[in-house]
Chains A and B, each alone.
Chain A
């Protein structure tokens, strides 16, 4: 009776893949907010940019939208990261020398406009119908679902691990220290000859690139994208993940992504099982209220999240401590 196992494996790996992909967005936000203190209210917009760029580049020819370049998936993913990172750099270049709120307002505008373009520029994005037939990784394994699910999970997990290790190294590097120095005391960092605007711009672009990459990976994993996947509630979810997990901490970002995604999925299942169909839309609204209250409560009562930021020092200092 292998059939009994298939369901849980398929479901479990789907859940984990989605949690990990949310985790990548969350890691990107952590570079921007957790480590640098930059407030991005347009997360959904940058994720959408990545998803659309990769979808347009890799899908087979179609007359519904621009594209049909049928390029390899890796090209799509890389381009997604580059374009989303470039868009972030543009927004950062405009606003980072101004007050912090200007960045928030402008990123909010980016999300609004990306949504508008996704919905209305039919020649580019396929409009409300979105883009389908996005090639999936390991398509050749699709005849054996278990193998296919596990291979996808392994790929996503490997990418997340690589990003995590790279970000941890960056956080401990001189570059990461300058970022935190700027966040904590801008004047002191300037007195050391560091240009806050330049470092902030780099961090903002890096975070945006990660969001774009996550968007592209998710698009290829699901095989279909549409504008309604990138509404402001996505931004909100990712923020809840980072704040719950603990901003400033990469492990916290991943943990928060898993916890909030689990809460979200389970509450969705409960709603569709328990609540009568006529009240489903209302119950879904209540779910957003709950996340909003959770977010606001965490900010007021436990701003550090589940795992707060740890004091990071250079590994050389840690080695020196051991020798003493």
Chain B
């Protein structure tokens, strides 16, 4: 077995983790599985591409990479803007669709609405940008040795660091701040949280914005490492759900740990069975969790 699996798995896991945090937050605070979360990833990647294109021509005047990275300064500027835009997009979607279905008699109809929204958003993105894959950069990067005989490209190292910082940031936000406590309170018991003076609507909006922003970061990462295409987020959806369930719904560190397991499993599968079987890993993990411990690693019984 090639030890390079570890590097691929970690990067893959970090990417899935950024998306899975959003899934687990929506699930625990709004109590539904959001099938449109993959489209936040796609939306974020395309938004960053469009903004970076504009910034590169108008402001920076070039789209050359920065230092050893093939990530242009324009994209570095565009990424936070895309995250904000995707957060806004998630909020807008909640306003026009999901908010109307909260408290509906059949809670599952909100899941169905998210499934419909997912298809419509994806098709709309395909309408605007066509299904032809796009790239942030076409530079080829050479993997350099880092340690223990492992190699990584400068882009991979930079993205791992960014993902790590984002994860730690989210963890601190949820565990140490007022809004983080409010989110945990709402996921625990919304009625009681409201009675205790928590602004539940505000907390819900915050969860959407945070999930959208992180999904957008995952989209930019995926776009840099592979390519940008309308199905990029949809194809990640099963790994996101599997990671969130493996970690225990509602647990952010759990989602991250679950994502690492799936990321490493996918990297291993690519090496042993071939890249075409990669998508089966998330399903097998999901089935295994449901068979053995449906509440996940960190979760309480459903």
Interface residues of A (CB under 8 A from B): 37, 39, 41, 94-95, 98-102, 104-106, 108-110, 112-113, 116, 119-120, 232-233, 236, 239-240, 243, 281-282, 285-289, 291-293, 295-296, 299-300, 303
Contact = CB atoms under 8 A, between A and B. Distances in A.
A106 B27 CA distance: 15
If over half of B's interface residues share one DSSP class (helix, strand or loop), that class is named, otherwise mixed; here it is: helix
Contacts of B116: 236, 239-240, 292-293, 295-296, 299
Interface string B100-138: 110010111101110111111111101100110000000
Which of B101, B112, B121, B126 is the most central at the interface, judged by chain A CB atoms within 10 Å of its CB?
Answer: B112
Interface in B232-255: 234, 237-238, 241-242, 245
Contacts of B245: 102, 105
B35 A108 contact: yes
A37 B107 CA distance: 10
B241 A112 contact: no
B277 A285 contact: no
B97 interface: yes
Contact of B234 (A232, A240, A291): A232
A102 B111 CA distance: 11
B123 A292 contact: yes
B287 interface: yes
A116 B119 contact: no
Contacts of B279: 112-113, 116
5 interchain residue pairs of minimum CB distance: A292-B120, A288-B123, A295-B116, A101-B33, A285-B126
A37 B245 CA distance: 22
Given A37-B106, A100-B111, A104-B33, 11 more contacts: A94-B291, A101-B108, A109-B241, A112-B283, A113-B283, A233-B119, A243-B112, A287-B123, A292-B119, A295-B112, A300-B100
26 contacts: A37-B106, A39-B111, A41-B35, A94-B287, A94-B290, A98-B290, A104-B35, A105-B241, A106-B286, A108-B238, A109-B241, A109-B286, A109-B287, A113-B280, A119-B276, A232-B119, A239-B115, A282-B127, A285-B123, A289-B120, A289-B123, A292-B123, A296-B113, A300-B100, A303-B104, A303-B109
Interface of B: 27, 32-33, 35, 97, 100-101, 104, 106-109, 111-113, 115-124, 126-127, 130-131, 234, 237-238, 241-242, 245, 276-277, 279-280, 282-283, 286-287, 290-291, 294, 302
Contacts of B124: 285, 289
A102 B246 CA distance: 12
Contacts of B113: 295-296, 299-300
A296 B120 contact: yes
Contacts of B122: 288
